[in-house]
């Protein structure tokens, strides 16, 4: 579980998703624990996009 940097609480699922660069309208499915695992194991979408664009530039 990630800790909020300024408040005495953990991060919400949506806050964790934002840190990973998921858009606010992205829908996760499953239980809270499954969603937390999905977010934690995910490659951030903006990082994936940057890597993909770099790979395409070599073609």
Nearest Cα neighbor of 46 from 23, 16, 12 is 23
Distance CA 57, CA 32 (A): 38
Strand partners, 10: 3
- Does the global pTM surpass 0.85? no
Write the DSSP symbol of residue 12. Answer: P
Mean pLDDT of 29-56: 96
- pLDDT, residue 40, reads 93
Residue 46 has pLDDT above 80, yes or no: yes
């Amino acid at each position: 579980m990630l800790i909020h940097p300024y408040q005495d609480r953990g991060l919400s699922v949506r806050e964790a998703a934002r840190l990973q660069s998921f858009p606010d309208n992205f829908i996760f499915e499953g239980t809270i624990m499954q969603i937390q695992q999905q977010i934690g194991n995910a490659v951030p979408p903006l990082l994936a996009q940057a890597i993909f664009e770099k790979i395409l530039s070599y073609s």
